[in-house]
Structure 1
């Protein structure tokens, strides 16, 4: 049961005609109403969006100028926004906002130390957008406690009765609500997302660990499909401020079969394919997702395109590890983690197809592409050579609250990266060191800041122990 109004959580719907079209989300106790939003030009009363046991979700849609600072007022507080000024803006990117076990009971100050850092950075120089690169929640334990899903995904009932699935749906909905509401109630996170519009791309933990890389007998079972539907409903509400059938203009598929989206402002395009809705053990996206990505790649866009890939697009030869794990019984439980990666042997053709789309954009006159990735709980960067002599950069920031893995794992990946990888002939991939770091992979909690000044882009990593990295031009 929610005991107070949570929010606002500010989400960017789309940008058009010099206006940012925004959605503000509130989670409220049943029977209560969030007050109106005032922009000076609009007086917007939030309306009911979605109901959960013990809580209701309300949404206010409004617009503010995109070309400079603005503000809105709610409940007596003024929330200042930086806007999206042409050629001068700051963006923050974060991923892996939680942990697989015990995330709901972690100490708030310890858990959110990097959110506090981003808040402090925003106070000094405001962010225009907050990009969430996957695993905004860790829903892995939401299946625990119900007889149909207690042993998910190892054991599931073969043919559950409809009323049992209905009971499971209600149970899972309560679990997903709890995870999003607990996050929104935490001070440092809530302060930032009320002042910086969010754009999100989901990944497996927003559903369950390894979704799409598990056996089809699991994901296509009645229990698996119930889990996916509940997770998708929550993702639409809490990450995109909407419900099925009411998708804002940023989504590339109005029907919502996949949740890929794109946003354009002068000199900047943000592109986020959906790498989970259509994923199976043999494909990353279906033709709907591919058609949208390749149409964007074929459409000239002078300036910078930031492509969000929830799993790193440029990486080492993980197929080597994948082959070894199959041979070692104790390591086979990690097989779905490697199947999640673009570099998996099962996805090599898809990986090459995506890289060709990226090169189409990168090698076009007047265009630059940068890949933003998360998922691995480490920070790193990579380049891919392009025929025009300008490398395509990938920036990985992963573990905004997830504690980092052992440093030995970072060293092992660094050693593997020395083998190099060239999935497209003539376009070698290289893993590079972040400025100021000794190893190619950095085992610290981290977030990424992107700064554009007079059209020149720089990347800065914020690390939990070592602080800010020197700005790196991309």
Structure 2
């Protein structure tokens, strides 16, 4: 089959490790109206017939099972379209931690902003792919950081990364306010009229179509060279086809600022409609589940309680998805999409910070309960070995940084300058932060939960985040404990953005100055806990205003492995390397 019939994909998704040691991977492919269903081959054998996830406007989106056995050592696996192009991904060895790449903000909120870029939009993706797969380098020159990986990975015919973490804003739906005339008109209405605005059946269908069709236009653009071309595109599509992903949404996957508007606006008919269709599209395209398997959110606010913070009926996901062998390991008993994984000595929590978000809430009570229950079940009894089954490092993926400069004066100013302006996100961006006064209590709770997990399980905890369009490093720490204790320090790694411009304009540079000035002061959360920004490695400021991506890799061959974090930051002509390590517990 010709891949010119593809609307989207292939997009690889990691589904967890099966009880039999299977590395579970799926591939999403979108097909044009009338296109034949392709046969995919995995290691030379035909895959099972795909599952249909969605049909819209006679276009079909199919999910294939590319799961394969984990062996003692890592190996490179080939898959492809029968009679067409092939791709590869690398499966880690049994009971070994996968090597991770992390990106966020794969798009732009304003096309005009992309014209300010000094280098092409996909430059950062091209650098990540050159580090990942030797066959995609072309004439790109390497530096000494990349040379480190040649002997241990590339000279063995392997690829560097086994998972690609995508921490939010995989797609930007902000354009919906301009592209749909009805929504452009809505923006011009008074606030009172906006709150009463009724969504007609026709507009509902337009909004649905917008959310379900933009993914194909953004993730497999028509102007790119076709699959199988002699010269690869070195773009997001090339990465999504070669590294199994774990994706979690943030505000732009819905629209800018979702969750940080006033309770009245969040509950308005238009906002509810937009969120419903964004959620459905996220479920299909980023989580790769069938649309029919997604339950609607049901309000569960008890009588006599305020509706300011949404309370939804929890979902028994394991029952809901019991018939799906490729179901993601979503935490049972939560209404959102938080999932959790273990691979050898690494545990990974992918937290959904949008489903239940409001101005004064990040996670609902059921989500907190289930998160703590899962963390409590981590194995702390097995001896620390690598390869091994005892978790030695917990990575918590939070779309918004937990440790970040706090701008109290700016918060107060913007909070008093009005609200609910969908085309001006300044106030909403600050309200999104864990460090905002409205979320400070939950930030303390999160750090206490993670600190107690580190203590009780004898492991290290690190945070990885994006969203803020800079690279940064910070630490949450206990002032009453020696630094050598596992729970005494939790490091924060922030990497953003892979496509969106960093802070480049005049106003943004002024904001950058405020960030750096504020970052120099520790934030004391209570009598014994603090968070503090650290000077960015190899830089004389706290935040690095450059597009970037992040590698997260545990030592191989050590029973008590360190975690190595390496940022690759774009410069005008090349990339700079910035390295930080986390010692074992």
TM-score (norm 1): 0.91
Q: Does 1:52 align with 2:56?
A: yes
User: CA, structure 1 residues 103+175, in 2 after alignment: closer, same or farther (shift >3 Å)?
Assistant: farther
Ranges in structure 2 where 5+ consecutive residues have no aligned partner? 135-152, 154-159, 225-232, 295-320, 380-390
1:325: which partner in 2?
A: 414
Shift of residue 264 of structure 1? 1.1
* Structure 1 residues 299-318: aligned runs within 5 Å: 299-301=377-379, 302-318=391-407
1:296: which partner in 2?
A: 374
User: CA, structure 1 residues 104+471, in 2 after alignment: closer, same or farther (shift >3 Å)?
Assistant: closer
1:91: which partner in 2?
A: 100
Tell whether the 8 Å contact from 2:333 to 2:370 is kept in structure 1 after alignment.
no
Shifted more, 41-50 versus 450-459: the winner is 41-50
Tell whether the 8 Å contact from 2:496 to 2:547 is kept in structure 1 after alignment.
yes
Q: Does 1:141 align with 2:169?
A: no
Q: Does 1:211 align with 2:258?
A: yes
How far apart, CA to CA, are the structure 2 residues paired with 1:103 and 1:71?
40
Q: Does 1:110 align with 2:120?
A: yes
Shifted more, 326-335 versus 434-443: the winner is 326-335
2:290 to 243, 268, 271: 243
Tell whether the 8 Å contact from 2:333 to 2:367 is kept in structure 1 after alignment.
no
2:564 to 438, 452, 458: 458
Shifted more, 359-368 versus 208-217: the winner is 359-368
Q: Does 1:64 align with 2:156?
A: no
How far apart, CA to CA, are the structure 2 residues paired with 1:228 and 1:418?
38
How far apart, CA to CA, are the structure 1 residues paired with 2:289 and 2:121?
28
- Count the aligned residue pairs: 472
1:182 to 215, 218, 221: 218
1:19 to 18, 22, 41: 22
1:8: which partner in 2?
A: 10
1:441 to 527, 543, 547: 543
How far apart, CA to CA, are the structure 1 residues paired with 2:540 and 2:194?
50
Alignment deviations for residues 84-131 of structure 1 (CA, whole Å, 9 cap, x no partner): 334464211000111112289979x81111111111010145211000
Alignment deviations for residues 13-60 of structure 1 (CA, whole Å, 9 cap, x no partner): 221231121211011101213412222466223232112336321111
Other structure's SS at 1:217 match: helix
* Structure 1 residues 63-82: aligned runs within 5 Å: 63-67=67-71, 68-75=74-81, 76-82=84-90
2:388: which partner in 1?
A: none
How far apart, CA to CA, are the structure 2 residues paired with 1:367 and 1:88?
14
Shift of residue 271 of structure 1? 0.2
Tell whether the 8 Å contact from 1:169 to 1:226 is kept in structure 2 after alignment.
no
How far apart, CA to CA, are the structure 2 residues paired with 1:104 and 1:170?
27
Tell whether the 8 Å contact from 2:122 to 2:499 is kept in structure 1 after alignment.
yes
1:231: which partner in 2?
A: 278
Shifted more, 76-85 versus 217-226: the winner is 76-85
User: CA, structure 1 residues 200+419, in 2 after alignment: closer, same or farther (shift >3 Å)?
Assistant: same
Which is higher, the Rg of structure 1 or of structure 2? 2
2:512: which partner in 1?
A: 410
Shift of residue 197 of structure 1? 0.2
Ranges in structure 1 where 5+ consecutive residues have no aligned partner? none
Alignment deviations for residues 288-325 of structure 1 (CA, whole Å, 9 cap, x no partner): 22112222333334311111010011123333421233
Q: Does 1:401 align with 2:401?
A: no
Other structure's SS at 1:383 match: strand
Other structure's SS at 1:150 match: helix
User: CA, structure 1 residues 3+182, in 2 after alignment: closer, same or farther (shift >3 Å)?
Assistant: farther
Alignment deviations for residues 71-92 of structure 1 (CA, whole Å, 9 cap, x no partner): 2422243332221334464211
1:286: which partner in 2?
A: 364
